[in-house]
Amino acid sequence: MTPSRPHHPGAVPLDDARDLLWSAVHQGDEHRAAAVVLDALESSGDAETVLLDLIAPVQARVGTEWAANRLTVAQEHTATAIHERVIAVLAHRPDRRDGTPNGPRITVACVDGEWHALPARLLAEVLRLRGWRVDFLGAHVPTPHLIAHLHRTGPRAVALSSSVPTHLPTAHMAVTACQAAGVPVIAGGAAFGPDGRHARALGADGWAPDARGAAAVLERGLDRPGPPAVHQTVDDLPHLADQEYTIVAATTHQLVKQTLADLEDRFEPLRGYTERQRRHTAEDLAHIVEYLATSLYVADVELFTGFVLWTADILTARGVPARSLDPALDLLALQLKDFPRACRTLADAREALGNRTPPPETPGPGKPV
């Protein structure tokens, strides 16, 4: 059932539409959000503009507001769910005419473990509007199931999406498996870096920073890989021969446990933490180790440094002392003293923390490290 829409005389400026949509999703009002989007479609007559210049920027604002502690996790999830359903309203409106039964076929999927599906959904809808036959597989697609789908459908290409960098090792396996099946891969999403450096490092056949860019790359065409050949991870990433990534990834639990125990001597407030606070601290330390391992995988120190600085800002916004990060990184370095790349990465992150200009602290409850 199409929601009723308030009358807006004349074209609604896009900036105004963004404000209206933000107000609707912020208040959890799905019907008003749908009305805003459908009115914007009436004004512009261009569904791609509505998807990428209205919905996408508002969704980006949702993430920014959550990071600044101005939205709860529940509000962030609600806003994202509203956007997903509003996109469905656009996709299934009665007057929509797009695609062709004989158009090129493409599979759009998130890598295994990746639950942020909205960027991939936006790409899928843009490609449909441009005449592609799209198989949208959604979030968290295990690689064996993806490959089975490719063998069954024979698409021209695969678009792989990932927003969280810690999924890059899994993305690498997916890229290699798709190419072994004879299907080229275009990668997209924040995990692959703002300049696509990680997509190139993992051997993807293409990369784009957004849905419009991805559609343009696909329209120009990707070269289909040649006959499958024996291919190992170190062929793309020869630095992995030092085994630092493998060992750090395999000992994450031990590293977190020891760091948490040692941190009590270095960071006195930890001794007074509640059980819940200690649990959150252990979770955050696990994320730090996971990002360290990922930075070792792709040999990108900036990936880890950027995450540590982002974590410091998140903690500050929640009224939690970010100064606990420095001793935690030092304690990790002591445990990893025999791993030169890991130690250099941790040292660079500590230096960046020391040079950081923190944002104003936000009063209120938060979670430690």
304: its two tokens:
């880890």
Strand segments (E) across the chain: 105-110, 133-138, 157-161, 185-188, 206-207
- Kindly list the distances between the CA atom of residue 201 and the CA atoms of 164, 165, 198, 258, 342, in Å, as whole numbers in the listed order: 16, 13, 5, 32, 19
pLDDT tens, N- to C-terminus, the chain (369 residues) = 344 444 444 467 888 999 999 999 999 999 999 999 999 999 888 999 999 999 999 999 999 999 999 999 999 999 999 999 999 988 887 665 555 667 899 999 999 999 999 999 999 999 999 999 999 999 999 999 999 999 999 999 999 999 999 999 999 999 999 999 999 999 999 999 989 999 999 999 999 999 999 999 999 998 766 655 566 777 789 999 999 999 999 999 999 999 999 998 888 888 888 888 888 889 999 999 999 999 999 999 999 999 999 999 998 888 888 888 999 999 999 999 999 999 999 999 999 999 987 665 444 333 433
> Cα separation of 139 and 117, whole Å?
5
The pTM (predicted TM-score) of the whole model is 0.88
